Amino acid sequence: QKEVEQDPGPLSVPEGAIVSLNCTYSNSAFQYFMWYRQYSRKGPELLMYTYSSGNKEDGRFTAQVDKSSKYISLFIRDSQPSDSATYLCAMSGVDTGRRALTFGSGTRLQVQP
Amino acid sequence: IAGITQAPTSQILAAGRRMTLRCTQDMRHNAMYWYRQDLGLGLRLIHYSNTAGTTGKGEVPDGYSVSRANTDDFPLTLASAVPSQTSVYFCASSQGGANVLTFGAGSRLTVL
């Protein structure tokens, strides 16, 4: 079983829809939670970053972390065709000699105009 | 523009050949990473370096080696390429405890 599970999609929605993207994880040591967006044939770019539990809002994007359930979400309001991309969740702990992120496999989102 | 530069962008390689993927950053980040990205498997860590002069193994290190002679450069070497190493390779760097990674544009490698 992977440490981070993410539904690969694809997820197809009409323009203006609310999108919900989710990840579950198994490692209770994870403290930092991030969402990256990756356009086709490009490198991932940071979209949202959250420390520990709670919500964070940035424009049309809201990130939620529920550590008790080991579940994180990304909501996109008023989705636009330019939001069409693959969304990767990522997380890390505070411990380790290896300060790398563990990624989900990514969810491909297509917003139809 | 500050960031990470990877080279080559794309390469086709015969099996058994040696290949080095180059990665240079100009942000003076201490930590650097190499990931490979494969369909359905996401990004998997190959090797990492927390600071110049040190390296460590990630999730899928076999068949790869790295060096970190200075802060800016972190090359990834495939000593004898095999078809299963066909992938997109991303170099990344980070600074600080939150481990927010900045990625390069990737190197697409095909091993025949």
Residue A101 gets which letter from DSSP?
P
Q: Does B5 touch chain A (CB under 8 A)?
A: no
Mean pLDDT of chain A: 91
Bridge pairing between strands B10-13 and B107-111:
parallel
Mutate: best of B101, B102, B103, B109, partner A, most A CBs <10 A: B101
Mean pLDDT of chain B: 94
Average pLDDT by stretches of 10, chain A with 113 residues: 86 96 93 94 93 90 95 96 96 69 93 96
Model confidence at B98, pLDDT cuts 50, 70, 90, reads: low
**What is the reported pLDDT for A53?**
84
- How many CA atoms lie within 13 Å of B107's alpha carbon, on the beta-carbon side? 26
Does B42 contact A103 at a Cβ distance shorter than 8 Å?
Answer: yes
For the segment B38-63, the average pLDDT, to the nearest whole number, is 92
**What is the reported pLDDT for A9?**
83
Judged by DSSP in three states, B59 sits in coil
pLDDT tens per residue, range B71-89: 999 999 999 999 999 999 9
User: End-to-end CA distance of chain A, in Å?
Assistant: 37
Model confidence at B52, pLDDT cuts 50, 70, 90, reads: very high
